[in-house]
Amino acid sequence: MAKRSLKAYEDVLLRPEGLAGAVDFEEIFGRRGPVHIEIGSGKGTFLLAQAGHAPDVNFLGIERANKYYRYAVDRIGRWGLANVRIIRADAARFLSEHVGDSAVDWFHVYFPDPWPKKRHHKRRFVSGSNMAQMVRCLKTGGVIQIVTDHTDYFEEIQKAIEAQGKRLDTIAFTPAAGSGDGELTGTNYERKYIKNKRDIYSIAVRKG
C-alpha cells in the first residue's frame, strides 16, 4: 500500500524561526484561555484526545523529532482541532527562551526519553534545572504531571520536585481524556508498556 503523504497544516504548526523572546499565547491561539504544554508529544495521541475533550483549553505540543512532529501536525490538522499548536523544538531551550513567567497552566510530560545508560542521564529532560524552568513558567495553582516506566528516572524526578521545596504540593493525578481502563495518559508508549507489563510511575504536583 502506498504511504500517505503528511500535510504540514499551517494553522497547527508553530514555526520556531522568527520567534524572539517570550511568545504571546493569546496571539498564537487567537484567543485567551488556559495554556497546557505537552513536552515530547510524539505522534500527538494525547493532544488529539485531550484537545477534543477540552475545547476551551489551548494546547501546545513540543516535539524535537521531525518524524513525529510531522505526523502529529498532519493528524491534528486532519481532525480540524483549532486549539492545538505543535512546535518542533528542544523543550528545554523553548521554555528558557520563549515562555514567560507564570504563562502556563499545565505541563504534561508523558514517558520522557529515559536515556538508560548512566553516561546519557544528563540528556534526560526532567532535571533539576528543567523542573525549575517549568515551575517558573507555571501560574500559581498550575500543575505538572509526569509519567515514566523507569524506576531510577522516577527517583530523579521525585528529587527534582523535592528540590523545589514548598513551591510544589503533590496532588492526585488526573487521568487524560483518552485514557482507557488502567491507563493514565492513553499515549502510544503507555499502551506499549502496559502490553509489556512494565511498571508505570506517575506524579502530579501543583504550584502553591
Ligand X SMILES: C[S@@+](CC[C@H](N)C(=O)[O-])C[C@H]1O[C@@H](n2cnc3c(N)ncnc32)[C@H](O)[C@@H]1O
User: Do 33 and 56 touch, CB atoms closer than 8 A?
Assistant: yes
Alpha helices per DSSP H over 80-126: 91-98
124: three-class secondary structure by DSSP: coil
Q: Based on the number of CB atoms within 10 Å of its own CB, is 132 exposed (0-12), middle (13-18) or buried (19 or more)?
A: middle
User: Do 180 and 186 touch, CB atoms closer than 8 A?
Assistant: yes
Given candidates 29, 42, 73, 84, which one binds ligand X under the rule CB under 6 A? 42
d(CA 100, CA 104): 8
Q: How far is the CA of 162 from the CAs of 132, 159, 165, in angstroms?
A: 11, 5, 5
Given candidates 35, 40, 126, 144, which one binds ligand X under the rule CB under 6 A? 40
111 near ligand X, rule: CB under 6 A: yes
Given candidates 127, 158, 164, 188, which one binds ligand X under the rule CB under 6 A? 188
125 near ligand X, rule: CB under 6 A: yes
Residue closer to ligand X by CB (options 96, 164) is: 96
**Cα-based angle 62, 66, 11 (whole degrees, multiple of 5):** 60
Count of CB atoms situated within 10 Å of the CB of 154: 20
Stretch in the footprint of ligand X (CB under 6 A) among 33-41, 49-57, 97-105, 169-177: 33-41
Stretch 62-91: interaction string toward ligand X, x if CB under 6 A = xxxx--x---------------------xx
d(CA 97, CA 122): 20
Residue closer to ligand X by CB (options 31, 70) is: 70
Stretch 148-167: interaction string toward ligand X, x if CB under 6 A = --------------------
Stretch in the footprint of ligand X (CB under 6 A) among 37-45, 72-80, 95-103, 138-146: 37-45
Q: Which residue is nearest to ligand X (CB)?
A: 40
CB of 60 to ligand X, least distance (A): 12
49 near ligand X, rule: CB under 6 A: no
Interface residues toward ligand X, by CB under 6 A: 39-42, 62-65, 68, 90-92, 110-113, 125, 187-190
